[in-house]
Amino acid sequence: MRRLCFINGFVLVLACLAADLAQAHHSFAVFFQTDKTIAVTGVVTEFRFSNPHGLIKLEVTAKDGSTEAWAAETNSPSILVRRGWSKASLTPGEKVTVEGWPARDGSRYLRMQKVTRASGEVIGKPFDPNAD
């Protein structure tokens, strides 16, 4: 009986974890405005080359001179690699412009379409949500 309870408890924990993982991967159109793009220029503070999506964090200077923290969600590392990216594509302190689709909730968050260095070099191939 104790063994059966242990197994049932273990299965329950696994089911809860699986539900969290499934919820972590979301629909593009649900979270981002597909009919609008914006560009944000700032200094990279962090670049996460991780699953299920990478993340670019930026410090952006607002029109009033204050600084704002922005984040741009990227593709998964496997897709980024196919598009010409690597773990070393961005480094903290580098100034870039990130173009993409803004979050529907109005937060300082977007889905990356294209990243351009201050020199004008585009990193990798731009993202197309209908193809990727």
User: How much is the pLDDT for 22?
Assistant: 42
Distances (CA, A) of 21 to 11, 14, 27, 51: 15, 11, 14, 11
Average pLDDT over residues 127-132: 69
Average pLDDT over residues 90-113: 96
Regarding predicted confidence, which is higher, 8 or 118?
A: 118
Average pLDDT over residues 98-116: 96
**Mean pLDDT (the chain, rounded):** 84
Regarding beta strands 109-117 and 67-73, do their DSSP bridges make them parallel or antiparallel, or are they unpaired? parallel
User: Does pTM surpass 0.85?
Assistant: no
Q: Is the model's pLDDT at 15 over the cut of 80?
A: no
Q: Is the model's pLDDT at 31 over the cut of 90?
A: no
Average pLDDT over residues 30-57: 94
Average pLDDT over residues 86-111: 96
Within a 10 A sphere around the Cβ of 40, how many other Cβ atoms?
Answer: 20
CATH class of 27-117: mainly beta
Q: Could you tell me the residue ranges of all domains in the chain?
A: 27-117
